[in-house]
Amino acid sequence: MRPLRAHGVSEEEDDAPMAEDRGRFPRSVFEEGEDPDPRFSLANERTFLAWIRTGLAFVAAGLAVEALQLPVTEWLRVTISVLLVLAGIAATAQAWLSWVRTERAMRHLAPLPSSGLKLPIAVLLGLVALAVVVGLLL
């Protein structure tokens, strides 16, 4: 097994950041720290994609509520639809936000960040569930 940090043990290669590293996008991530094992970056990329798919699913659900005319009062239906699409926007923002923060933390060997927009997303989904229950009972 290779060491977990690709550059923890340097084998005669200079550890100073390469010149081309400095301009790497996004600066807030690559400005400082050391590149982690590429496998960790790939795992972070998969988490990013999972959030993207989650966001797309929320958006699709929000559109479906309107397109399929969920059988609840109109104002509640619109509310449910809007809340779901807002959750989709939040999940998409969370995808990028958490990717940046995780990649940065890994470059500094810092604890991985938590939360981000997870709480707002959970609140939105709770409201959706509540609205559906109320709508079906009305």
Q: Which residues bind other proteins (CB under 8 A)?
A: 1-2, 6-7, 18, 20-21, 24-26, 29-30, 35-39, 41-43, 45-46, 48-50, 52-53, 55-60, 62-63, 66-67, 78, 81-82, 85-86, 88-89, 92-93, 95-96, 99, 103
Kindly state the smallest distance separating residue 133's Cβ from other proteins, in Å: 21
Give the nearer residue to other proteins in terms of CB position, either 33 or 134: 33
> Minimal distance in Å, beta carbon 49 to other proteins?
4
Q: How far is the CB of 114 from other proteins (least distance, A)?
A: 20
**CA-based nearest residue to 95, from 58, 49, 39:** 49
- Alpha helix stretches (DSSP H) within the chain: 27-30, 38-67, 74-107, 118-137
**CB half-sphere exposure, 91, CA atoms < 13 A:** 24
The CA-based angle 107-110-113, given to 5 degrees, is: 100
